[in-house]
Amino acid sequence: MKDILRGMIEKRRAGITCGVPSYCTANRLAIEAILEQAKRFDDYILIEATANQVNQFGGYTGMKPSDFTGFVYGIADQIGFPREQIILGGDHLGPLTWADLDEEEAMANSTELVRQFVAAGFKKIHLDTSMKLASDPKEEMLSDEIIAERGVILYQACEEAYQELLKSHPGEARPVFIIGSEVPIPGGAQEEEEGVSVTKPDAFERTVRVYRETFEKHGISDAFENIIGVVVQPGVEFGDMEVFRYDRGNARELCGALKKYDGIVFEGHSTDYQTPESLRQMVEDGIAILKVGPALTYGLREGLFALSLMEKELIAEEKRANFISVMEEVMLAEPGNWQKHYHGSKEEQRQARKYSFSDRCRYYMNSDRMEEAISRLFRNLDEAGIPMNMLHQYMPRQYNKVIAGSLKKRAAALAKDCVVTFVEDYNYATKHNYMNSNVFAR
């Protein structure tokens, strides 16, 4: 397996501006879209799972780390994408889902969590121990020293799991690690006129310094060779209806501080919905790992809605999949994954369930009812045939690709291409010779 993350660091050391998109999703259609597009370019792909999506108890997807590996590899096999060109990452690995437990139990769970991720072949590990636990003093801030001490404990567990993995898989690549956790709140930010606070340079530098000191205290000072990134807040977030766009002027001091550290880049979370130009500026400024998640399923949802509107025109009422109304029914029946995130009147909540940039509907996409509605929608439209004039009305971007011969006029392909729209923004940002490819001349 090619080590694209360490390779990215070496390229940047050589003065080559480049980065890596990190696709954080457990949605089958979104992953298919990502891998199918990568196959066109013989590309390498980083796919991540968060600790609440995937853990030793199943997470909200019902998958353990080894299950997620099998899930992604199964999709790759189905479409003919090489497994060795997939890098798996674990995001927010630590006591995220056990913050209501005392330190001893929460850290025991976290240790087992990271061990399972490494054993399952994950090569990018974000160590996140920034959250308070039940036994931590309520009235005090969690110190950088405690955060680093817990992080190093998890690093050691990862190293033990890696050494065990080598026994059955000689030559297996060593994981790389991301530290830091100054990220937007899960699900996107609340709308605020004043914008987003950028990480202070001294806060970033203190994170690095304290981690170095803690590694040295444990007698593993060379471990920092495997730390390739630090999570910071460069000033990008999104809420239900608003996107806070990257302002490189506001991030200038933070990105300037990064130049003191060889072999480290910034990882930016919640980069969803940034413009291609903003994403490219982030990569140029050192925010070289770009995390994206909700935008992928948001794009898929947009495509499914457009197909549903065409279904209403083409299919008799009693045969329709009615995906839009089925999604609403499923979300209302189980409000746990959106209720705390969508506020306002009932009408405002109804609109958020459909259109919010936070895209809480992604938690429901894998439910049986939703999957059945999607399958029926695809089947109905493929059997009926979508008229080109109607495709132009509801999916003009996809219409242009169909006309050009680069996209099949099949319902699933059309829906997945709405994910590709976002994927291409990240390719443009991270691969500076990407637009020179003759693929775009077809």
E strands in 283-379: 287-292
Helix or strand holding residue 324 (H, E): helix 323-333
DSSP helix/strand/coil, 49: strand
Long-range CB pairs of 140-147, under 8 A, 24+ apart, other chains included: 144/206, 144/207, 144/210, 145/210, 145/214, 147/181, 147/210
CA distance 8 to 90: 18
How many Cβ atoms are within 10 Å of 346's Cβ, its own excluded?
7
**Single-letter residue type at 118:** V
Strand-pair category, 124-127 with 227-232: unpaired
CA distance 280 to 93: 27
DSSP letter string, 108-158 = HHHHHHHHHHHHTT--EEEE---S--TTS-TTSPPPHHHHHHHHHHHHHHH
Q: What is the DSSP letter of 179?
A: E
pLDDT of residue 181: 82
DSSP helix/strand/coil, 79: helix
pLDDT of residue 185: 47
Q: What is the DSSP letter of 425?
A: H
CA distance 38 to 120: 23
**Measuring CA to CA, how many Å separate 134 from each of 91, 95, 101, 140?**
22, 11, 5, 13
Q: pTM higher than 0.85 for the full model?
A: yes
Find out whether 283 and 18 touch, Cβ atoms under 8 Å.
yes
Find out whether 91 and 291 touch, Cβ atoms under 8 Å.
yes
**Single-letter residue type at 160:** E
CA distance 383 to 144: 59
pLDDT of residue 190: 44
- Tokens at 85, concatenated: 């060109």
Number of H helices, E strands in the chain: 15, 10
Q: 3-state SS of 255-266?
A: HHHHCCCCCCEE
Q: What is the DSSP letter of 369?
A: H
Q: What is the dihedral of CA 27, 32, 35, 39, to 10 degrees?
A: 180
- Of 289, 294, 290, 234, nearest to 30 by C-alpha is 294
Average pLDDT per 10 consecutive residues for the chain, totaling 442 residues: 90 95 98 97 96 96 97 98 98 97 98 98 98 95 96 98 97 96 54 74 97 97 94 96 97 98 96 98 98 98 98 98 98 96 97 98 96 98 98 98 98 98 97 55 34
pLDDT of residue 192: 44
List 23's β-bridge partners, or say none.
47, 292
Helix or strand holding residue 394 (H, E): helix 388-394
How many Cβ atoms are within 10 Å of 89's Cβ, its own excluded?
26
- Tokens at 195, concatenated: 């914008």
